[in-house]
Amino acid sequence: MTLVTLKDVLQPALQQGYAVGGLVCLGWEDMRAYVAAAEAEDCPVILQAGPGCRAHTPLPVLGRMFRHLAEGASVPVVAHLDHGYTYDECAEALDSGFTSLMFDGSRKPLAENIAETRKIVDMAHGAAISCEGEIGFVGYSGGEASAGTDPEEAARFAAETGVDAMAISVGNVHLQQDKEGGLDEPRIAAIQAMTDVPLVIHGGSGVPVDQRRKLAATTNICKFNIGTELRMAFGQALRDAVNADADRFDRVSILKETHDPVMQAARGVLRHLKG
């Protein structure tokens, strides 16, 4: 069994100069392809269940799916709750077998975010699993605007919460389909100068691949969350499979054809983070 915690995979990444992919899952087909990609690249992978995934499949089911894949994998696999918004939701994920909790209090005032994140950290560490928090706010393409992370607030957040990883807002946005622009490297350097907690980039799909590779190798960014890029690969593969035969109706045979394209797309993501 190669089920591990977030800390188990991020500390070696921090020390050795690479990053780990936090791959956003929506169902069995993509999570299975992600583990196959990690095995092909011989690297760890973080399977992430975000709000959209949880709205479709209950947390106890997702926990069993993640753990089943981890038990058969030849590489380390983290079962990670992405964007947990309440204590109860995080507690349910812990009870469902997740090995990492991400509490998102980034919309709250700093003191409230720290206090609530600390409670999740204490719960996670009490069960020997990991916790990720977020300081600053990572917005959404075409939606809520971002609020950049203040380096001094980041240092306080890291010290007072005890998080194992810290998501930051440095020009990244969720759901970005192109790779225009990039991250604010001076802000990253300023944050890194004030804390040695592993840093996390949400909305990694919108970050140019060369910048991902560079930052993975040269900064304390140890985790890139990738969702939109891989969902686009899945959508195209599914569209191709359906359009290839208008008379097909068996979803199992159709969904099988998404595996290889999604696995190859995930391999590319993981390869560029290995340093």
Rounded to an integer, what distance in angstroms lies between the CA atom of residue 154 and that of residue 191?
Answer: 7
Cα gap 13→216, rounded to integer Å: 9
- Helix, strand, coil in percent for the chain, rounding step 5: 50, 15, 35
Q: E strands of the chain, at which residues?
A: 3-4, 20-25, 45-49, 77-84, 100-103, 130-135, 165-168, 199-201, 221-226
Query: Are the C-beta atoms of residues 7 and 101 closer than 8 Å to each other?
Result: no
Taking Cα atoms as reference points, which of 98, 37, 5 lies closest to residue 272? 37
Is 88 considered catalytic here? no
Exactly one of 30, 82, 150, 164 is catalytic; name it.
Answer: 82
Q: What is the DSSP letter of 17?
A: T
Helix/strand/coil for 259: helix
Q: Which residues are catalytic?
A: 82
